[in-house]
Amino acid sequence: MSKVSVERGLHLEAFLEMLSAERGAARNTLDAYERDLKDFSAFLATRGKAQTEATARDIRDYLEYIAAQGLSASTAARRLSAIRQFHGFLFADGVRKDDPCGSIEGPRRARPLPKTLTVEEVDGLLAASRLAADGRTQEEAVLAYKRARLVCLMEVLYATGLRVSELVGLPLSAVRGDERFLSVSGKGGRERLVPLSETARLAIDTYLPLRTQRLGDKTSPWLFPSRGRQGHLTRHRFAQLLKDLSIAAGLDPSRVSPHTLRHAFASHLLANGADLRAVQQMLGHADISTTQIYTHVLDERLKDLVQTHHPLAKKGKAS
C-alpha cells in the first residue's frame, strides 16, 4: 500500500471519528460518508491525487462525472456535502492550507413536498382504531390487548410526530414520568420531551394494565414488547397494522405510512399556529433547515391571515 493511500485512510478515519464523537452521527450516517468520500478518492486516484491535493477544478469535474453516470441531483448534492465537510475538517486541522470547496456551487435539486394527510383523514384513522377496540369480543384477552396497543400506537404517533423507530422502540420508562410529556431518545442519542395530548395519555393508561396482563410473569423494558429478536414491535409490523387500518378507514393504503403521519403531525400543528422552532424541537430535527420543508404550510397560513385580518384586504372585499 502506498504512503498516499495510508495517509488518506488516516485522514478519513479521523474525520469519521470526529463525526461520531462530536456530532453523535449514527452508524448509517458514518457508512454513507465513508462510501461517498471513498468514491471521490477513487476518482482522484485516476488523476494520481489524494484528497489533500484536490482542487476546485477536480471537485467540479467529479460532479460532472457523476452527473454523466446518470446519478440524481440529490445524490450529487449529498456527495458534495460529504466532500465539503471533509475538506472543512482537513482545513480546520491544518492538514490543508486552503478549502477547495469554497467556490463550489451545489447542484440544484427540487425538494418535493412531504406526503401528508388531512385532519379529517387522520381523524378517520383514529376512529377506525377506536372502533377496533370496541368490538364485541373484548373478553378475549389477547384481542383486547392488541386493540388497546393499536389505539395507543396511533394516538401517541399523531400526538407526538415520533419517527417510527422511536415509536416502536419506546422504553416503558418513557411513560413513567411526568404524564404531560413523553421522554424520547432520538438520533445520536439526543433526548427530548414531547407534549402528550389528553387522548394519547388516556390511550396509554388504558393500554398499560392490559400490557401487564399480557406479559404475566415475564418482564420487558419496552412499552410495546414483542417476542421477536429486537424485543419490541418492529417497524415493519406497525406499517402492516397501519395499512390494515387505512383500509378500514376507507383510505388508499399506499398514501398512509408512519412517516406520513409524522408529516401530518407537523403540518397540522403549523396550520393551527404553532411556531416552526417548536415543531423542530418536537420532531427532533437537529437543524431548522430540515423542518423548513413545511414552510409551504406557513405560507398558506400567512396568506390566510392577511386576507382575513389586514384592513386593506377587508376594504378591498367591501368595495
For residue 129, give the C-alpha cell. 382504531
Residue whose cell numbers read 394516538: 155
**CB–CB of 122/264 below 8 Å?**
yes
Q: Read off φ and ψ for residue 217, nearest 5 degrees.
A: -80, -15
Distance CA 297, CA 172 (A): 34
Which amino acid would we find at residue 191? E
Give the Å distances, CA to CA, from 304 to 240, 269, 279.
38, 16, 20
CA-nearest of 49, 51, 48, 22 to 34 is: 51
Burial class (CB in 10 A: 0-12, 13-18, 19+), 95: middle
Distance CA 238, CA 261 (A): 13
SS3 97: coil
Distance CA 202, CA 290 (A): 32
Give the Å distances, CA to CA, from 311 to 14, 189, 280, 314, 316.
59, 49, 32, 5, 9
Active site residues: 163, 187, 259, 262, 285, 294
Distance CA 99, CA 90 (A): 8
